Amino acid sequence: MVAFVPHLCGFVPTESLVVVSLRGPRRRVGLTLRIDLPALRDLAGAAGEIAARIVHDGGSEVLLLVWTEEAGAMVRTDLVEAVTGALDDAGIAVQEALLVRGGRWWSYRCSNPRCCPPEGVPLVAAAASPAVALMQATDAYDGRVVLPSREELVASLSPPSFLAAEAARQVLTAADEAAAGWVGRVGPAAARRDAVAAFLAAVDRAADPRASPADDEAAALAVSLHDVLVRDEVLTCALDQPEQLLALLLALLQRTVPPYDVPACTMLAIVAWLRGDGGLANVALDRAWRGDPTYSLAALVREGLDQQVPPAAVREWLQGTRRALRRR
C-alpha cells in the first residue's frame, strides 16, 4: 500500500499526511486525502475534518501515512493520535498508521521486530511487487504518470512564461479578433457550429500523440471555449473520448495564458475528476482561479470536489448535458 499511494495521488507525497479510505469487508480503496504537514496546525480541527470526510465517503477503515523527512524517532505521533482519536469517535478503525521516510517505512502501531524492525522496512521490494507492476501498467495504458512531487505536477500544468507568454498572448488576441469577425459575418449559431466541428475534429486527431495542433489552431480552439455552449458540447466528449480530450486540453494549456486558459483549465479539471484524478483536477482548478476567480463553472467544480461528489455523478451530469444539447 505504501508503494501504491503515489499512484493514488499522481505524485510522490512529500511532507504530507495521506489518509486512504477503505470501504466494506473487502477494504476497497475509496477517497484518498493528502494534506501538507506544515498546514496542520490545529490538530483537533484537522482530525475532525478528516473523520467527517471519511464518514461521507463510506469508509469503514483507513490507512494513515505520515510522509516526511523530518528527523527524529517516530515523529508526528501527536498528529497520528489526534486523527486516530477522531476516527475512533466516528466508528472508523485505523487499520495501520505508518511513517514513511528515506525509502523505508515504520509502523506507529507495531513494535514487533520480526515484521517492523527498528531500522524500518525498505520500500524497494514493495515497489517491485506484482500488484504495483499491475498498477504501473494500468497507469501507462490510461496515460497517467506518477510525478516525483506535487511541484512537478503544478509545473507540468504551468502556462508559458516570459517571451513565450507574450507570443502566446499575441496569437490568442488575433484568434479572438478573428472569432469575433466570423460571428459578425455568419451569425452566432453558424459560428458556434463551426467551432464545435473544429474542436471535435481536433479531439479525433488527438488519438495520435504526434498530431499536436499548430499554435494558431490551438489559439482558435482555446478562444472558442469561451462560448459556454461550445464548451459544454465539447465537454461531453469526456463520455466517449476522455483520454483524447485530456490530451488535447493539455496541449492547449501549454500555449495559452490567462484569462484565455480558464475554460480549458476548468474542462481539464472535470475530465480529471471523471477519471478519479483529484490531484490533477485541483491543480487545474488552481490555475483557472488565478486566471479568473469569478468563473462560475470552476467554482461549481471546486464545490463538487470539496463535497466529494463521485465521478459517477459527474458522468450522469455530462450525460444530461448531452441530452439537453441534442434537444436544442
Q: Which of 250, 261, 266, 259 is nearest to 314 (CA)?
A: 266
Supply the pTM of this predicted model: 0.76
State residue 300's pLDDT score: 95
| Domains, in order of start, for the chain | 5-148 (3.40.140.10), 157-327 (no CATH)
Instruction: With beta carbons less than 8 A apart as the criterion, state whether 183 and 224 touch.
Output: no
Distance of alpha carbon 276 from alpha carbon 218, whole angstroms = 26
Segment-wise mean pLDDT, segments of 10 residues, the chain, 328 residues: 86 92 90 90 93 91 95 93 96 96 93 90 72 62 65 85 94 96 95 96 89 92 96 96 94 95 97 88 94 96 89 92 88
Residue 244 CA to chain centroid, in angstroms?
17
Q: In what order do the strands lie in the sheet with 16-23?
A: 28-36, 16-23, 61-67, 93-101, 104-107, 121-122
Instruction: With beta carbons less than 8 A apart as the criterion, state whether 99 and 108 touch.
Output: yes
* 179-183 contact pairs (CB < 8 A, 24+): 179/220, 179/223, 179/224
State residue 219's pLDDT score: 96
| Number of C-beta neighbours around residue 56 at 10 A | 12
Helix (H, G, I), strand (E, B) or coil at 105: strand
Instruction: With beta carbons less than 8 A apart as the criterion, state whether 203 and 241 touch.
Output: yes
Beta bridge partners of 21: 62
State residue 276's pLDDT score: 80
